[in-house]
Structure 1
Amino acid sequence: MSAAEQEAARQDGTDQQKTLAVGFIGLGTMGEPMAANIVAAGYDLRVHDVDPDRTREVAERLSSRPEETPARVHPASDADDLADRDVIVLMLPTSAIVRAALLDEDGQLKIPLRSGAVVVDMSSSDPTETVATGKQLAAHGIPMVDAPVSGARERAIAGTLAIMMGADEEAAAERSAPVIEAMSRAIYRTGRLGTGHAMKALNNFVAASSVAATSEALTAGGRFGLDPAVMVDVLNDSTGQSFITTHVLGPHVVEGRYASGFALPLIAKDVRIAENLQRTVGHHAPVCQAVSAQFGAAEAALGNTDHTEVYRFWGEG
């Protein structure tokens, strides 16, 4: 096959994938820009949020973007509006909310999906609950893929999120992958269903540990007379460097923005998931337990605020 024929075949495959009808549930801080990238990739999209006004507003915003085709974005007012979708993407706060969006208390489908549809949970869900929900969906012939994201809102907007994908059915992973690729720079295949969410929780535990450790260091250094801005510069040029020192504590603590876009209750929840996972596999994890306790105390005191506010909370102690 010539290069021209190979390119034509590739384009034909791409065009066939773009005929997939996609539904997106959960239009929050991350959900809206992720949905925007699905539309920008050329997919027919219906969006839904628990807030009807939010659903309508996001659909209107995405339709008004000059680089997209307005006719391809529609609000979904109820479950029946998503029944004809080939791929359903969820970006919701917890795995319990994911399950409630898909199944009723008796385990029956809330969205009467057609045969061949794939459910993709991109939320930061509990892996054990993901496996349970996946089994219930499979009983109705609907495969589930877990594909949580990392990269925060900045990379959600850019369409360069890192994706951790778990799936029991390879066909379901392959069918949904092109839609996921519209939002990502890399998809890491982690194994069976639930492993993506396990990896995400463990990643966020490591990130939270860095937030806790670096916050302690900056507080101690500041009390000793060090300039926190200089400390961050040194950390970023030394062995203490991490994503947290380069992208979080510098702009959102040293510069005083406290607006990373990642809510404190969400990171606290992710660390609890990691703690539970460690307990489930029989691993003694004192660091995870300590970090979970720290973030739990901060959440109890501060409530629903940006997670970088923990620096001020801990520093006052």
Structure 2
Amino acid sequence: MTTSSTPNGDTATKVGFVGLGTMGEPMSANIAKAGFDLRVYDEDAGRAHAVADRIGASALDDAAGLAECDVIVLMLPTSKIVRSVLVDDSGAGPALRLPLRPGTVVVDMSSSNPQDTLATGEVLSAAGVHLVDAPVSGAKERALSGTLAIMLGGNDDAAIARATPVIDAMSAQIYRTGALGTGHAMKALNNFVAAAAYTAASEALISGERFGLDRQTMVDIFNNSTGQSFVTLNVLGPHIVDGAFASGFALPLMTKDVKIAQAVQAAAEHEAPVCAAVVGALDDALTELGNVDHTEAYNYWNLR
């Protein structure tokens, strides 16, 4: 493994980072801040160069430059896009799209479908490349502070050990979930729980206000009662009561994640009517509103 020295004298792997969006930019910034030799890549080359200048990294104009890296982190919208970066499916059989060296560790921190993760992992494994799934929770605020919660799945303990110092730079807590794919399954289930809380809280606010209750008063009571959740503490006040509608988490992504959770539950042969109801509510809002912040679903539901 190629190593370089960090400012404090420790050895560090060469790290590549793909996907510099709302979450990816602050996550990559924390990797650079930790002293790693970081190269960033984004489909938008101009963005890659601008981010690299801001965080003290090198920008790659071609994804092939990732082959120089020992650990490659991906933070992308879907598992299909993750696969398109890593795997060439245009030939007789799937093959690596990038000239990655055996022993390279790829860390998919996206909210991916675990079945897709397993399929992509098989292609990488055949080439001696290790795939680790390490999706995150904590939204943009914790991405900025480097205190994300990580759900870590993988089959090779040595590969996980090599990736862990990089992941540590972005996180406050790493939860080892099991084999490859379990991290992505856990992330989908977590986001289902959050989406269910948001859907239920929205229904409560809408019906309560129509009954004559004040929205802020309801939020205050939720937050000091058994209805308290991440949603009531962090979403309802700024984005519903104050009308920001700018959580940074898009409605299509939330809907996608809950559908992944539904697929996980189906694979486990578990009847999940609450999940089905949440998928239906989100799908209705998505059909009407399109690519908006997920908090704007409230406005659609309030009109029904």
TM-score, normalised by the number of residues in structure 2: 0.95
Does the 8 Å contact 2:6/2:12 carry over to 1? no
Does the 8 Å contact 1:17/1:178 carry over to 2? no
Distance 2:273 2:161 in 1: 39
1:62-110 CA distance string (max 9 Å, x none): 13xxxxxxxxx11111122111101000000000000000010142212
TM-score, normalised by the number of residues in structure 1: 0.91
Does the 8 Å contact 2:146/2:171 carry over to 1? yes
Identity over aligned pairs, percent: 59
Q: Greater shift after overlay, 36-45 or 297-306?
A: 297-306
**SS across alignment from 1:83:** helix
Does the 8 Å contact 1:150/1:161 carry over to 2? yes
Q: Note if 1:247 corresponds to 2:234.
A: yes
Instruction: Please tell me the residue identity of whatever aligns with 2:104.
Output: A
Q: Note if 1:60 corresponds to 2:53.
A: yes
1:237-293 CA distance string (max 9 Å, x none): 000000000001111111111100111100000000001111111111000011011
Match of 1:118 in 2: 105
Q: Note if 1:31 corresponds to 2:18.
A: no
Distance 1:172 1:229 in 2: 48
**SS across alignment from 1:27:** coil
What is the 5 A alignment of 1:41-80? 41-63=34-56, 73-80=57-64
What is the 5 A alignment of 1:5-20? 18-20=11-13
Distance 2:105 2:111 in 1: 18
Distance 2:61 2:88 in 1: 18
Q: Displacement of 1:115 after TM fit?
A: 2.5
Distance 1:17 1:284 in 2: 50
Match of 1:172 in 2: 159
Does the 8 Å contact 1:79/1:110 carry over to 2? no
Q: Note if 1:304 corresponds to 2:297.
A: no
Equivalent in 90, 107, 120 of residue 94 of structure 2? 107
The alignment covers a number of residue pairs equal to: 297
* Shift in alpha-carbon separation, 1:156–1:13, aligned structure 2, 3 A: closer
Distance 2:51 2:43 in 1: 12
Q: Displacement of 1:16 after TM fit?
A: 7.7
1:23-59 CA distance string (max 9 Å, x none): 0000000000000000000000000011111111111
1:4-26 CA distance string (max 9 Å, x none): xxxxxxxx999786420000000
Match of 2:70 in 1: 86
Q: Note if 1:188 corresponds to 2:175.
A: yes
Instruction: Please tell me the residue identity of whatever aligns with 1:268.
Output: T
Distance 1:293 1:101 in 2: 31
- Over 3 Å off, 4+ runs: 12-18
Does the 8 Å contact 2:13/2:37 carry over to 1? yes
Instruction: Please tell me the residue identity of whatever aligns with 2:48.
Output: T
* Shift in alpha-carbon separation, 1:306–1:13, aligned structure 2, 3 A: closer
Does the 8 Å contact 1:258/1:309 carry over to 2? yes
* Shift in alpha-carbon separation, 1:254–1:132, aligned structure 2, 3 A: same
Consecutive unaligned residues of structure 2, counting only runs of 5 or more, are none
Match of 1:40 in 2: 33
Match of 1:68 in 2: none
What is the 5 A alignment of 1:201-216? 201-216=188-203
